Amino acid sequence: MEKKAPDTTPVVLMNFTHVYEQESFYKKEPHCWIDLTDLEGVNGYCDENAGKAIRERIARLSPYGLHFIDSGNYHYVSKFWTDRIREDFVLVLFDHHTDMQPSRFGELLSCGSWVKDVLDENPFVRKAVIIGADKHYLDHIDEAYRDRLVCFTTDSLGMGKNWRAFAQAHVRLPVFISIDKDVLSPKEEITDWDQGNMSLAMLEGILQILIRRHRILGIDICGECPELLGEGLEAVRVNDTVNEKLVNFLKDQIFMKNNRAVICRIEEPDFGCEERPEGRPAACRVFLKELPENGDGSRCKDKVFAMLMEEKLLEERGLAEGMKVVLDEDGTLVKVLETGGL
């Protein structure tokens, strides 16, 4: 079912398996459907005829958008979107797998080889950063790619200074982000591949830094679970919920990048003493409302959105409920002075 949309649409739904028809996260957003259900030679691998058809069907849409690309079996579609970028960029991949394996069928593009193919064929990609992959998969990457590839396991990541320091050193170009939800823990998401142990909060924390510090060229999200359609209502519900959270989070972060807000509520740290992982700083959930252009907090819009911020930073910067704030370069909140400066 092809649903017409203008040339630029915030949410693009690539319909291979009908799985998004069971979800509702996109219904409040401007969106369009790309119907791919009639194609053969697309599941896991993409043959030449199918690849040509997919490229033709996305040709009228910009790669500079938010694309939901169905199951991880179709993650290779990210190559088709990035092929259309005509400026130097860094590919940032959140995935439990590296997608750097040679294709088992010669030159045939696959969901497990597409990152390797991007590095081989795209003259504009300067580096790929893989976040959340299992060490077992990292150990099998060809040494020839090591100078253009940086990898982080979930255990080596933090939401704070470590990642920001890395981004300052290695991610100085515009960024294209590709997210396979199998990077998330099974406690938070249900996919049709083996999964990692990243929390949604950690994923959002890194995305927040990327959005604040870099120009984002586009974002792809995959990881649906179509094999359970008709019998896995829980999988549909969980995927729908995670997708909705990601859409709302990305909208809020992109808005906050260029606008001011007022703190309307601060909740206590999100981890209890027994549950907070060792070495992870306590983080509060900060609820914000948009400030009108005249800066009068009494006329804030009704929409409230939230972000995580380290408790220690909140205290150091003297941030409290009712204060006007903006996002700093590192993706954290700072006060807006009454003069309008920072």
Predicted pLDDT of residue 280? 64
Question: What's the pLDDT tens digit per position in 124-152?
Answer: 999 999 998 888 888 888 888 988 998 88
In this structure, the number of other CB atoms found within 10 A of the CB of residue 143 comes to: 6
Q: Which residue has the higher pLDDT, 6 or 195?
A: 195
Nearest residue to 282 via CA among 309, 318, 307, 305: 309
pLDDT category of residue 16 using cuts at 50, 70 and 90: very high
Predicted pLDDT of residue 272? 47
Question: What's the pLDDT tens digit per position in 200-241?
Answer: 988 998 888 888 788 899 999 999 988 665 555 788 889 999
Q: What is the distance between the alpha carbons of residues 299 and 315, in angstroms, rounded to a whole number? A: 27
Q: What is the distance between the alpha carbons of residues 73 and 76, in angstroms, rounded to a whole number? A: 8
Q: Which residues pair with 291 in a beta bridge?
A: none
CATH topology for 6-257 is Arginase; Chain A (3.40.800)
Q: What is the distance between the alpha carbons of residues 272 and 288, in angstroms, rounded to a whole number? A: 23
Domain ranges (residues) in the chain: 6-257, 259-335
Q: Looking at mean pLDDT, say which of 181-190, 292-301, 326-335 comes out highest.
A: 181-190
Predicted pLDDT of residue 274? 44
Predicted pLDDT of residue 340? 35
